[in-house]
């Protein structure tokens, strides 16, 4: 956004290519850390994804420099049920002596990998559904970047998104011990999925050529519970 009286200079496409590669490089580095067990490694990456994709009256996304109308994006989500987590599973991990009940993304959990137009992928394809609550990638990245703390920290945040953080997502169950488990931070798994889709799509479009070797199995092997794939038939406590 320009300020009144500020001298401005038009940037060329070489700058756009350079910054797109810098952004995706950071996403790849953070994903590697996340895949190695640092579940906080993606904090701040929503701001990068916002810079890539989010358009407002005051700012234009970097992707606009790359003819997004001709761009196809991979999607691992194809949500069909009233309660649908897509390619996610519940995981209980142990960190600093405490249990963390959360979600993990894995491409193998997807029924199919679809190719969508950029507009459909960003604006219409849902990455979470619970009844009338439906979230697209655009909504997840906008709220995470603008309200939760990636770029801003707002006192008041989108309730539907806040529910993802706190575990009010419709999925909870009791262990044999009677302990009620309420997994939290579903948004981390969603953001990991969006990054994965972004990197693969950009490589296919020849925007980037950086090596990318995701490891979606490591965090699963660190679980202290048996693998539990989320299914629509799971008993839901409203």
Going by pLDDT thresholds of 50, 70 and 90, the confidence category of residue 122 is: very high
Distance CA 186, CA 68 (A): 28
User: Among 26-40, 129-143, 183-197, where is mean pLDDT lowest?
Assistant: 129-143
pLDDT at 4 over 90: no
Predicted pLDDT of residue 65: 94
Going by pLDDT thresholds of 50, 70 and 90, the confidence category of residue 186 is: confident
Distance CA 154, CA 145 (A): 10
Question: What does the block give as tokens for 53?
Answer: 């994709």
Closest CA to 192 of 146, 140, 120, 232: 140
Question: What does the block give as tokens for 108?
Answer: 């193998």
Predicted pLDDT of residue 150: 45
Distance CA 183, CA 185 (A): 7
DSSP state of 89: E
Q: What average pLDDT score do residues 59-86 get? A: 92
Predicted pLDDT of residue 230: 52
CA 106 to chain centroid: 12
Question: What does the block give as tokens for 2?
Answer: 């320009």
With beta carbons less than 8 A apart as the criterion, state whether 161 and 147 touch: yes
- 157-175 pLDDT, tens per residue? 556 556 655 656 656 767 7
| Higher pLDDT pick, 212 / 5 | 212
With beta carbons less than 8 A apart as the criterion, state whether 76 and 86 touch: yes
Q: What average pLDDT score do residues 36-50 get? A: 94
Alpha-carbon dihedral 160, 163, 164, 170, rounded to 10 degrees? -100
Q: What average pLDDT score do residues 80-86 get? A: 85
Residue where the block lists tokens 């407002």:
56
Name the percent of the chain in helix, strand, coil, to the closest 5.
40, 15, 45
Alpha-carbon dihedral 54, 56, 59, 62, rounded to 10 degrees? 30
pTM: 0.85
Radius of gyration of the chain (CA): 18
Distance CA 43, CA 40 (A): 6
Distance CA 100, CA 195 (A): 22
CA 153 to chain centroid: 18
pLDDT at 228 over 60: no
- 189-211 pLDDT, tens per residue? 999 999 999 999 999 999 999 99
Predicted pLDDT of residue 94: 87
């Amino acid at each position: 956004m320009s300020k009144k009286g500020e001298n401005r200079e038009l940037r060329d496409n070489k700058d756009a290519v350079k910054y797109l590669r810098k952004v995706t490089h950071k996403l790849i580095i953070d994903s590697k850390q996340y895949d190695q067990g640092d579940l906080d490694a993606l904090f701040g990456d929503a701001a990068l994804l916002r810079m890539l994709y989010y358009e407002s009256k005051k700012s234009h996304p970097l992707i606009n420099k790359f003819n997004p109308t001709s761009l196809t994006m991979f999607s691992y989500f194809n949500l069909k049920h009233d309660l649908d987590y897509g390619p996610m599973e519940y995981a209980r991990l142990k960190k600093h002596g405490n249990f963390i009940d959360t979600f993990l993304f894995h491409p193998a959990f997807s029924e199919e990998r679809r190719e969508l137009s950029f507009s459909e992928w960003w604006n219409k394809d849902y990455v979470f559904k619970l009844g009338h609550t439906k979230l697209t990638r655009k909504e997840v990245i906008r709220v995470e970047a603008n309200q939760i703390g990636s770029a801003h920290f707002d006192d008041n945040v989108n309730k539907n998104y806040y529910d993802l953080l706190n575990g009010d997502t419709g999925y909870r169950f009791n262990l044999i011990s009677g302990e009620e488990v309420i997994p939290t931070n579903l948004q981390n798994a969603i953001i990991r999925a969006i990054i994965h889709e972004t990197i693969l799509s950009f490589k296919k479009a020849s925007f980037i050529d950086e090596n990318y070797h995701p490891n979606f199995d490591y965090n699963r092997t660190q679980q202290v519970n048996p693998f539990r794939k989320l299914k629509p038939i799971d008993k839901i406590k409203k």
